[in-house]
Amino acid sequence: MKSTEEKRVLVVGGGLGALSAAVHLRLKGFDVTLLEAGERVGGRANLIERDGFRFDTGPSLLNYPWVFEELFAAAGKRLEDYVRLLPVEPSLTFRWADGTRFTLSSDLQNFLGECERLEPGSAPSVFAFMRDAGEKYRVAFDKLVGRNVDNPAKWLGALTPRELLGTGLWRSFDGELRRHFKSRHVREALGSYAMYLGGSPFQLPGMFTILPYGEMAYGLWLPEGGVYGLVEGVERLAREAGVEVRTRCRVSKIIARGGSVYGVQLADGTVERAHLVVSNVDAPTTDTELVESDRPFAARPRAAKTKMTPGVVTFYWGVAGEVEGLGHHSIFLPEDYRGAFDDLLERGRVPRALPFYVAVPSATDPNLAPRGCSAVFVLAPTPTLSRMPGADWSEEARKIKERVLETLKLHGVSIEPWRVMCEEVYTPLDWRRRFGLYDGSAFGAAHTLFQVGPFRRKNFSEELEGLYYVGASTTPGTGMPMVVLSGRLVAERITERVR
Ligand SMILES: Cc1cc2nc3c(=O)[nH]c(=O)nc-3n(C[C@H](O)[C@H](O)[C@H](O)COP(=O)(O)OP(=O)(O)OC[C@H]3O[C@@H](n4cnc5c(N)ncnc54)[C@H](O)[C@@H]3O)c2cc1C
């Protein structure tokens, strides 16, 4: 690298993927400026502070902490010097209308006990499942998701024939679970992770048994101060590494001339020049709305066809008193489990039988709420904006809230309206407006077979030199650990190409 301009990288957006990319690029000697439109970094992993409550806007389940440890270690630091992670154990309880409960735990004895209760004699199946999913997890992280590979044959070619067969890429997620479990409750619980991946367990590849496995093997964690406590730690790491972080700095265009990136234009009209731009704005939004090129940009119509994960309506309630009958994380699953996926993904409507997730993080970190109060987070999946054209989202949110409260009541959990001291609600419209999420999709591009690995939106532009992508809709995928890996991968990509 020669001139100062060639060493300059502009990172557009300040989500976790952006922060990770910025740290890695800085460590490789680039001058990095991060431009975030919002008042603070973190992206979807944002913060609402109200009336003494501290709510995480998006992610609430932290898994694979080793990915964050690696990020800090790359900079010669220790994660634990920046943020303390509190274990959430038992991790997550699934509940059905018929009163059945199933609790996941990273303590194998507890998990065995739960499976035995729902499926007597299942211990050998549990061991077989853990062995099988553990092997998938090893193969996924050692050979598939942690490196930049653009060629499908080369990607899968790294696997031995035995490993390839074991991935379950050609079987459905549910099909993999059926190999091990007879109990529909166990299968529904473990398969419900598909919702965040943008498919149903009946369609998505069997490889994704690594999700429930990963949670059990590596535990679920709550950073002290909430998930935003972790974001603050990563932001500090980036600033200490020398990244220039600018907030309230919206980029209105990524400018390309003659097939190369030239810089970005800010909302106030200023142009910042750089030959390297990494966009952390949701990749399909970047391609359809931000890139301004003097040549036809074929990625734009392609991006518009990306299959996205669902939207969500999220509620943040500051509640007076304890919320009896709920642990830290609970997922309420409907009796018509398949119907919920069909409504969401095929029929394009809010599921009649509504699955939803509730977290009470103040149960683990009391500092997230005023003394004696509870911070409650509710997430219900919805179709994306284009699947419900003309929807009145505040009315949808009102109906969802009513159904959530009714269901909670049936389960013996009462959150009486007079106890709700403050409330915030985000619909898919808010998620799009606040964070630029394409079509209001909460988790980014779906993880269907043809949108994973080398088939997913690559982390570089094939048309515009100098344009790169980081975050949930590019490789390797969605979720906090994945976007942190995405940051390392894009930094490696840039270093390979620029030096
Ligand atoms: C409700 C919800 C719950 C979730 N739960 C979990 C969970 O429990 N566990 C988990 O691991 N993951 C979870 N996720 C997924 C996880 O949050 C994401 O995968 C991850 O945080 C995405 O990071 P990112 O790097 O893609 O950046 P994003 O979070 O998408 O951030 C992009 C940033 O770009 C900024 N931006 C947009 N447009 C512009 C512009 N024009 N100029 C400048 N800046 C701009 C935005 O303001 C934003 O800060 C959840 C997501 C949601 C929405």
Any idea which residue has 């690029």 for tokens? 25
Q: What domains can you pick out in the chain, each with its CATH number?
A: 5-49+59-85+225-306+447-498 (3.50.50.60), 105-218 (no CATH), 310-435 (3.30.519)
pLDDT along the chain (499 residues), means of 10: 73 98 98 98 98 97 96 98 96 95 95 96 96 96 94 92 90 95 97 93 94 93 97 98 98 97 97 97 98 95 95 98 94 96 96 96 96 97 97 98 97 94 98 98 95 95 97 97 98 91
pLDDT tens track for 186-235: 999 999 999 989 999 999 999 999 999 999 999 999 999 999 999 999 99
Q: Are 175 and 206 in contact, with CB atoms under 8 Å apart?
A: yes
Pocket test for ligand 1, best of 23, 24, 35, 44 (most atoms within 8 A of CB): 44
Work out which ligand 1 atom sits closest to the CA atom of 478.
Answer: 19
Provide CB contacts within 8 A for 494, sequence distance 6+: 9, 25, 28, 30, 276, 278, 468
pLDDT for res 170? 83
- Cα 311 from Cα 317, distance rounded (Å): 20
pLDDT for res 1? 45
pLDDT for res 257? 96
Task: Return the structure tokens found at 131.
Answer: 């062995």
Count, residues in the chain: 499
Any idea which residue has 């913060």 for tokens? 47
Beta strands in 189-236 (DSSP E): 220-223
Q: At what angle do helices 184-191 and 173-180 cross, to 10 degrees?
A: 140
Distance in Å, CA 284 to ligand 1 centroid: 13
Which residues make beta-bridge pairs with 260? 257, 465
pLDDT for res 168? 86
pLDDT for res 6? 74
Collapsing DSSP states into helix, strand and coil, what is residue 380? strand
pLDDT for res 3? 58
Task: Tell me which residues have their CB closer than 6 angstroms to ligand 1.
Answer: 12-18, 35-38, 43-45, 58-61, 250-251, 280-282, 312, 314, 379, 435-436, 442-443, 471-472, 478-480, 483
Distance in Å, CA 44 to ligand 1 centroid: 3
pLDDT tens track for 329-354: 999 999 999 999 999 999 999 999 99
What pTM was estimated for this model as a whole? 0.97
